Structure 1
Amino acid sequence: MRRIVNYAPSAGGRLLLGALPFAIAVIAYVIVSDARLAANPGDKIMPAFSSFVAAMQRVVFRSDPAVGQPLFWFDTWFSLARLGAGVGISALLALTLGVLVGFIPYVRSALDPMIATLSLIPPLAVLPILFIAFGLGETSKVILIVFGIAPVMVRDIVLTVMAIPREQIIKAQTLGASTWQMIIGVVLPQIMPRLIDSVRLSLGAAWLYVIAAEAITAEGGLGYRIFLVRRYLAMDVILPYVAWITILAFVLDFALRQLSQRAFPWKHLKEA
């Protein structure tokens, strides 16, 4: 008896199957949009694709007098700068604190309860506190990203360090390795792939905090622009911006995955 669970699509088949839901969504949007526009030509909720093209030509290619460059790239730079700073600081904290807390019992006893507590506080709940303490500038936005993802990343690395087989640590000590040498030679090579995975898993949350901070106060940014034009029901700008954020997130995730595969091929061979 043939069972479908024993068959897998070819490379081309996977590509077609992956594109199918997107094609269905686009076709459904066109059908519903045409119907709404036929009933109300001034409908702004589901504009025609021609409206998307016109709006994006305006913000992508035309220089805005207020900022001296196209708004689209101005907003993209602001958001990526905030995201990069927040994620970079969080990754550095996860690496340093994760190794120390996971590997050294005294440090774990002192810091683990605090890190666990911080990871349970809703980051958006402290956003007003950050604005009061650090002002409305870039610092508070970056700290929000760090507060939102760093504690979770630290705990992830701590668990990864603690999962290293004890036999490896004992063998290293038998060979005369110091604590620092064990961290460099035993711990770091095994946790670096997981750190990249942790960054990948945190990108979605990081984008959420970037957009949330920009929606409240900012001089520019993708989230700032989305919430600025929503008062005009400018879906021809909002939807392309949302799609662009999704594309940026996909590209960043893909780049990190490629980095992991190239830098640590042994991990992916083991998984395969």
Structure 2
Amino acid sequence: MRLVNRLPAPGWARVLALLPFVAVLVLYLIASAMRLADNPADKLLPSFATIGDAIVRMAFTVDIRTGTIPLWSDTIASLGRLFAGLGIATLIGAVLGIAIGVLPYLRALLGQFVAVVSMVPPLAILPILFITMGLGEASKIALIAIGIAPLLIRDIALRVTDMPPQQFVKAQTLGASSWTLVLRVVLPQILPRLIDSVRLQIGPAWLFLISAEAIASESGLGYRIFLVRRYLAMDVILPYVAWITLLAFVMEIALVALQRRAFPWFAAARTAQ
């Protein structure tokens, strides 16, 4: 049997999925032990015991100066900014993407403009946002929205234009207006695809957020990472990076669950492919 036709059993699939994570942990343990053997004060690859002490200090100990637990206060601050930016970008992406995909005049007017805007590196305009909007929450949220929205608009517009034209013809033959066509034909098919688009933008959204927090912020996960880097506190940085990764993964899982629950027909069609 050809390799392309050989499928792993469910149990083996889970084992194979875990292997890369186990390999990374083993390699880290070996590299950390080697460095600490040469220099017990080495900070680059701290031992798991040192990382555990840092986790207890950051996640379960109240900071005397602020009266808060650092990890959780940073998480709340970052997630608030992230959800606000992603929410604004998703709304803009859905509305403009569908409008550009459905309306030829609007596509002619904004199609190329959005394509050009989507090529602008969002981090390059971060200083402009800080100058015009200040160093508060608005500029950080705006960076996420500006960085994500153009890509969502283009993706949704392309997905709308890829829909079979026969659907539009049949709907109009049955007397559907442009508004009815959007609500009854386009929107039900685009919403599950919009969730896919948002899933693909979770990573970039975190990148924009951490960049903004690192430059100008007094709270947040990115702020904390860049605050402790001056002390080479890898025992704090590594858990924070792992925590950010876990949060992003949970967001991914939540969106997949939402898609399956709200649009079971879409998940069934994807599984059947």
| TM-score, length of structure 2 as denominator length | 0.97
Q: Is 2:48 the partner of 1:46?
A: no
Q: 2: distance between equivalents of 1:263 and 1:167?
A: 25
- What pairs with 1:89-168 in structure 2 (closer than 5 Å)? 89-168=88-167
Cα deviation 1:167-210 (Å, max 9, x = unaligned): 11111111111111001000101100110000000001000000
Q: 1: distance between equivalents of 2:220 and 2:121?
A: 23
Q: 2: distance between equivalents of 1:223 and 1:90?
A: 21
Distance apart, 1:68 and its partner CA: 2.0
Cα deviation 1:11-43 (Å, max 9, x = unaligned): 221111111111111111111111111111100
Structure 2, unaligned runs of 5 or more: none
| Structure 2 match to 1:57 | 56
Q: 3-state SS of the aligned residue for 2:40?
A: coil
| Structure 1 match to 2:179 | 180
Q: 1: distance between equivalents of 2:201 and 2:5?
A: 34
Q: 2: distance between equivalents of 1:152 and 1:132?
A: 24
| Structure 2 match to 1:230 | 229
Q: 3-state SS of the aligned residue for 2:201?
A: helix
Q: 3-state SS of the aligned residue for 2:248?
A: helix
Cα deviation 1:204-228 (Å, max 9, x = unaligned): 1000000000010101111110111
Distance apart, 1:7 and its partner CA: 2.4
Name the stretch that deviates more: 48-57 or 65-74: 65-74
Q: 2: distance between equivalents of 1:270 and 1:41?
A: 56
| Structure 2 match to 1:219 | 218
| Structure 2 match to 1:251 | 250
Q: 1: distance between equivalents of 2:185 and 2:267?
A: 19
Q: Is 2:65 the partner of 1:66?
A: yes
Q: 2: distance between equivalents of 1:29 and 1:175?
A: 64
For these two proteins, the number of residue pairs brought into alignment is 271
Q: 2: distance between equivalents of 1:68 and 1:149?
A: 35
Distance apart, 1:9 and its partner CA: 1.7
Q: 1: distance between equivalents of 2:4 and 2:98?
A: 41
Q: 2: distance between equivalents of 1:111 and 1:89?
A: 19
Amino acid at match of 1:110: L
Q: 1: distance between equivalents of 2:261 and 2:65?
A: 43
- What pairs with 1:76-91 in structure 2 (closer than 5 Å)? 76-91=75-90
Amino acid at match of 2:113: M
Distance apart, 1:262 and its partner CA: 1.3
Q: 3-state SS of the aligned residue for 2:92?
A: helix
Amino acid at match of 1:47: P
Q: 2: distance between equivalents of 1:250 and 1:154?
A: 24
Name the stretch that deviates more: 99-108 or 188-197: 99-108
| TM-score, length of structure 1 as denominator length | 0.97
Amino acid at match of 1:214: E
Q: 2: distance between equivalents of 1:270 and 1:24?
A: 35
- Superposed CA RMSD in Å reads 1.0
Distance apart, 1:111 and its partner CA: 1.7
| Structure 2 match to 1:261 | 260
Distance apart, 1:114 and its partner CA: 1.9
Cα deviation 1:71-93 (Å, max 9, x = unaligned): 00011111111110010000000
Q: 2: distance between equivalents of 1:105 and 1:197?
A: 25
Q: Is 2:9 the partner of 1:14?
A: no
Distance apart, 1:113 and its partner CA: 2.2
